[in-house]
Structure 1
Amino acid sequence: MGKFHAVLQPGINILIPIIDQIKYVQSLKEIAIEIPQQGAITLDNVQLHLDGVLYLRVVDPYKTSYGVEDAEYAISQLAQTTMRSEVGKINLDTVFKEREQLNINIVDAINKASEPWGMVCMRYEIRTMTMPERVQEAMQMQVEAERKKRAAILESEGKREAAINVAEGEKRSRILASEASMQEKINEARGLAEAMERQAEAKKNALEKVSTSLNKHGGHSAAALIVAEQYVKAFSNLAKESNTVIVPSNASDISGMVAQAMTVYKKLASETAGPRLLEEFESIPKDPK
């Protein structure tokens, strides 16, 4: 008779003809409502055109039937106004960066307003978002400028790293070269020192042997013979290496030269070896033959 009596559950229900009749049929499934495109102005005064899809479900058929005249129309209008309100709170750049958060805020706002209608908004998705052509061109230029900036930064960082690597390589190369040169000089110095030590040792051994030989019987005669041989050999090589030859006035007097050399030896022997060597030297025949 036009008055609410009961909510019929799924299954078999008994109705009295003429007195009882079904007024509203509500689906308890989740339904999708298309939100038409509409304009919205961001916080920085940029006009956007957005449309979306609203997913909702009826949780209280009584409130949905008697709480509002047309539930779907009412909630679609609520979604549009809520979307315009939420977009007006953020900047243009934030709309694209926080699109998911924008959807969440719209769902929360719709649920608070649609609670008396017995409906729950499950989720809201912004489907398309368009903007004026000039704004889109400006954003495209901004994106290109940002990419060029990043490319320039990456290129400069690459050049810097390359310069650092080259400098580091040259530094290590110079250090290694200097260390190699230092080690080479050390090795050369050690080799020279060792050679000088060995030469000195060899000279020492030779002098010791000569000294031992001279101290033996007949050693002074052998020394005189060696001096005479060296004298003759020196005169035979006078004109081989140079055109300028200095010849002593008594070059033919070999015995005199030998006697002079032995006089020098006698003087050195008297200063170093003592009277014993001097006596042995006195006993040597003065005739070089």
Structure 2
Amino acid sequence: MQSQIVSFILVFIVLAVVFSSFVTVKQGTIAVITVFGKYRRILTPGLNFKIPVIEAIHSKISIQNRSVELEFQAVTFDQANVYFKAMLLFSVLDQNEETIKNVAFKFVDERNLMQALIRTVEGSIRAFVATKRQSEVLILRREIVEHVKEQLDNILETWGYHLQDLQLNDITFDDVIMKSMSQVVASNNLKAAAENEGQALLITKTKAAEAEGNAIKISAEAERQASQLRGQGVALFRQEVAKGMSAAAKEMEQAHMDTSVILFTMWTESIKHFAENSDGNVIFLDGSTDSMQQTMKQLMSLNVMQQVDKGKK
């Protein structure tokens, strides 16, 4: 009976040892094996074998992406408080044995790793923001991220990690600063609106002046053309008058009549035209005999000159 019990115990121990020799490592995880506390090797995902009792699993390292939320404060060069809300995305650098050793043994535990990582990121951002003015911080998101990655890549590689992304989800200031910034934006908008209105008014005035100038040019050109046409009309009228007088003079010569009658008739017609179309009520004429003779001589002289010119042609 006792021998059966002992045999059962031995079988149980053997089975326990055999089953404990097989280790299952989940996908995305690497197990670190130590022998009496000293690093020995790593186990990849799947079913693995380890020496019972002698080899022990020190830790299991996740090689998947991990994220952590950050909230912290920084001070700008001009002593303004800036509040950040960020998301940090990191992962194990690679699956090489040396990298896994660094991840497993650089820090006492996961808590110390996260504390060091968060403080390092916050310190890098604070150092960068301390060199900038509060008015510059909002437009320097990308520069802040690039600065942090540049500063942390080498440090995190010695720990066996890689910073994949840093997202600054929110950047805020104290209420007083936020209010003053809003006022600055509002005043800039008003200034821009006033400048736009001034430009629009300037354009309107310029276009109106151009239109007025073009109208004056068009009017002047039209008046010039009208004057030219009026002159041409007067010239044509005079030519027709001259033709009519010449024809009348020929007929009177053929009838053996004095051509001076034509000039006298034109003179009397002119007086009649003045009387009909003048705005005044009185026409002053020199009706003396001497003046009449002088006028007739002038008209006859004009008639002779016209006949001479016609003979030359």
TM-score after normalising by structure 2? 0.66
Percent sequence identity over matched residues? 20
Output aligned runs, 1:68-217, within 5 Å: 68-69=107-108, 70=110, 71-211=113-253, 214=254
Verify the 8 A CA contact 1:57 1:121 in the aligned structure 2.
yes
Deviation, structure 1 residue 51: 2.0
Structure of greater Rg: 1
Q: 2:100 corresponds to which residue?
A: 61
Read off the aligned partner of 2:81 and give its amino acid letter.
Q
Deviation, structure 1 residue 209: 3.9
Verify the 8 A CA contact 2:85 2:171 in the aligned structure 1.
yes
Q: 2:9 corresponds to which residue?
A: none
Cα distance in 1 for partners of 2:161, 2:252 equals: 128
Query: Residues 26 and 17 (structure 1 numbering): CA distance in 2 closer, same or farther, change over 3 Å?
Result: same
Answer with 178-187 or 202-211: which moved more: 202-211
* Structure 2 unaligned residues grouped into runs of 5+: 1-35, 94-98, 262-267, 269-275, 277-299, 305-313
Cα distance in 2 for partners of 1:150, 1:44 equals: 27
1:30 corresponds to 2:60? no
Deviation, structure 1 residue 74: 1.9
Deviating above 4 A after TM superposition, structure 1's stretches of 4 or more consecutive aligned residues are none
Deviation, structure 1 residue 104: 1.3
Q: Which structure is richer in relative contact order (CA contacts within 8 A, separation 6 or more)?
A: 1
Cα distance in 2 for partners of 1:112, 1:93 equals: 31
Deviation, structure 1 residue 208: 3.0
Cα distance in 2 for partners of 1:112, 1:65 equals: 18
Verify the 8 A CA contact 2:66 2:89 in the aligned structure 1.
yes
Q: 1:280 corresponds to which residue?
A: none
Cα distance in 2 for partners of 1:206, 1:54 equals: 117
Answer with 179-188 or 123-132: which moved more: 123-132
TM-score after normalising by structure 1? 0.71
Cα distance in 1 for partners of 2:233, 2:240 equals: 10
Read off the aligned partner of 2:144 and give its amino acid letter.
L
Q: CA RMSD in A?
A: 2.4
Deviation, structure 1 residue 86: 1.6
- 1:224-271 Cα shifts (integer Å, max 9, x gaps): 9xx9xxxxxx9xxxxxx9xxxxxxxxxxxxxxxxxxxxxxxxxx9xxx
Cα distance in 1 for partners of 2:201, 2:237 equals: 53
1:2 corresponds to 2:37? yes
Verify the 8 A CA contact 2:72 2:85 in the aligned structure 1.
yes
Read off the aligned partner of 1:43 and give its amino acid letter.
F
Cα distance in 1 for partners of 2:114, 2:59 equals: 14
Q: 2:74 corresponds to which residue?
A: 40
- 1:171-214 Cα shifts (integer Å, max 9, x gaps): 11111111111111111111111111122123223323443xx2
Cα distance in 1 for partners of 2:245, 2:131 equals: 104
Higher strand share: 2
Instruction: Give the 3-state SS of the residue equivalent to 1:125 in structure 2.
Output: strand
Instruction: Give the 3-state SS of the residue equivalent to 1:123 in structure 2.
Output: strand
Deviation, structure 1 residue 58: 0.2
Cα distance in 1 for partners of 2:177, 2:200 equals: 34
1:13 corresponds to 2:48? yes
Deviation, structure 1 residue 124: 0.6
Verify the 8 A CA contact 2:153 2:162 in the aligned structure 1.
yes
Deviation, structure 1 residue 122: 0.9
Deviation, structure 1 residue 83: 1.6
Cα distance in 2 for partners of 1:4, 1:73 equals: 25
Verify the 8 A CA contact 1:52 1:126 in the aligned structure 2.
yes
Verify the 8 A CA contact 1:104 1:123 in the aligned structure 2.
no
* Structure 1 unaligned residues grouped into runs of 5+: 228-233, 235-240, 242-267, 273-289
Verify the 8 A CA contact 2:138 2:171 in the aligned structure 1.
no
Deviation, structure 1 residue 10: 1.8
